[in-house]
Amino acid sequence: MKILIIQDYLRSGGTERHAVFLGAAASKQGHEVTLLTFRPRGALGDDAENQPFAFKSLQPFDCHLDWFAPGLLRAAAEAAPDLVLCMGRMANCYAGFIQSRLPNATVIGTMRTGKTLPWLFLRSMRLVRHVVANSHVAKRVLTDEHNIPGNKISVIHNPVLRSHAAEGPRNLALRHLHGANPSTVVLLNVAMFRPEKNQRELIEICAKLPGYLDWQLWLAGEGVARKNCERLAHDLGLGGRVRFLGYQSDPTPLYLASDIAVLASQSESLSNFLIEAQLHGLPAVAYDIVGVGECFVPGKSGILHLNQDQAGFVESIDKLIRDPGMRRRFSDAARLHAREEFTAEQQIRAHLALFTELVKL
């Protein structure tokens, strides 16, 4: 099967990592895969170039425009794919045009976002042959709010891509490096610093914890909102407790050094951070946004709060900090849930089985 995967830019987010991952997995199964991006390079450019598939970009140099895709329809036609998989909002906005240009190909759109859906995105969802949503809630958004037929939508959860060392020894050296004592409870968030990821509110929530509790908040990632978050932490007197760790190509050491995963994001379909944290045994505290509740088992491996229930969020973190027994119970349940629902092998089989079935139709 000839597979064309389209992504606007290989930034460091979960959708981009999954595009590279799916391309490599399909190639290793004997399929001819091309990963086509609008912008060249990106944080994952080296990863893509070292994979067993063709990697091409449309912009001759980086114009810093995520939507600019010169020659996209011509490049798609020249690739003569049996199947086209569009990843990310920008690529999906073009998916309907690609399906019209390549009527004999199977074009698959993807629903992997909690952001507002542009008109072109929704148009594409109606025109493509099939849609893969990464959560059941994301599917319901398309069917209930936008009248996309449910029989053309399959739900396949994101796979855990970084499963190695999921049960390694606690990373005491990293904790010590950042000033965390053995008794310190480390709260972790791994995400790009964008306003919708809402690290700002995590800082505000932590500022409301009792001052005598021993905790730190680790924020891993880069982006436009980082400076404002650093300023807020300083203004709230949390400079010694909030650590800004920058972009981490592999955050596994952070998972192994932390105790609780926290997420206040306002834009998630299925949080890659939370499912990776669950595999590493981190209890979760999160707001109930789109598919976040499918990342863990509320009440067993984490605590889910109505969006913007800041008081409840503070109370849950307080409870988990004070109760190590509860953290251990949640940790065991988290690992079990992640192994049952999010292994890479399961999701690859599901994707390739769907691709084969659709191409045969």
Residue 212 in domain: yes
- Are residues 323 and 206 part of one domain? yes
Residue 217 in domain: yes
81 to each of 99, 101, 105, 106, 274, how far by Cα in Å? 11, 12, 6, 8, 34
Residue 166 has pLDDT above 60, yes or no: no
The per-residue pLDDT for 169 is 65
- Are residues 137 and 176 part of one domain? no
Residue 343 has pLDDT above 60, yes or no: yes
The per-residue pLDDT for 98 is 98
Which DSSP symbol is given to 160? P
Hey, how many other C-beta atoms are within 10 angstroms of the C-beta on 31?
Answer: 18
Place of tokens 């569009």: 86
pLDDT band of 289, cuts 50, 70, 90: confident
Residue 333 in domain: yes
Query: Which residue type, as a one-letter code, is found at position 8?
Result: D
Report the CATH number at residue 224.
3.40.50.2000
pLDDT band of 163, cuts 50, 70, 90: low
Hey, how many other C-beta atoms are within 10 angstroms of the C-beta on 266?
Answer: 17
Residue 165 in domain: no
- Are residues 184 and 218 part of one domain? yes
- Judged by average pLDDT, the poorest of 112-116, 237-241, 278-282, 319-323 is 112-116
Residue 200 in domain: yes
- Are residues 10 and 154 part of one domain? yes
- Mean pLDDT of the 176-194 span: 94
What CA–CA distance (Å, rounded) separates 331 from 277? 10
Residue 167 in domain: no
Residue 155 in domain: yes
The per-residue pLDDT for 297 is 94
The per-residue pLDDT for 168 is 60
Residue 164 in domain: no
- Mean pLDDT of the 139-159 span: 92
Residue 344 has pLDDT above 90, yes or no: no
Nearest to 301 by CA among 330, 272, 275: 330
- Are residues 327 and 178 part of one domain? yes
Domain count, the chain: 2
Which DSSP symbol is given to 242? E
- Are residues 347 and 276 part of one domain? no
289 to each of 58, 136, 259, 265, how far by Cα in Å? 34, 12, 22, 8
Place of tokens 């109930």: 288
pLDDT band of 279, cuts 50, 70, 90: very high
- Are residues 149 and 194 part of one domain? no
The per-residue pLDDT for 162 is 61
- Are residues 180 and 149 part of one domain? no
Nearest to 262 by CA among 195, 210, 329, 190: 190
Residues of the domain holding 317: 172-341
pLDDT band of 158, cuts 50, 70, 90: confident
- Are residues 337 and 188 part of one domain? yes
Residue 320 has pLDDT above 60, yes or no: yes
- Are residues 267 and 229 part of one domain? yes
- Is the model more confident about 250 or about 66? 66
The four Cα atoms 52, 57, 61, 62 give a dihedral, to 10 degrees, of: -90
The per-residue pLDDT for 270 is 83
Element housing 148 (H / E):
none
The per-residue pLDDT for 115 is 77
pLDDT band of 113, cuts 50, 70, 90: confident
- Are residues 177 and 193 part of one domain? yes
- Mean pLDDT of the 274-278 span: 93
- Are residues 146 and 186 part of one domain? no
- Is the model more confident about 244 or about 163? 244
Place of tokens 């020894």: 169
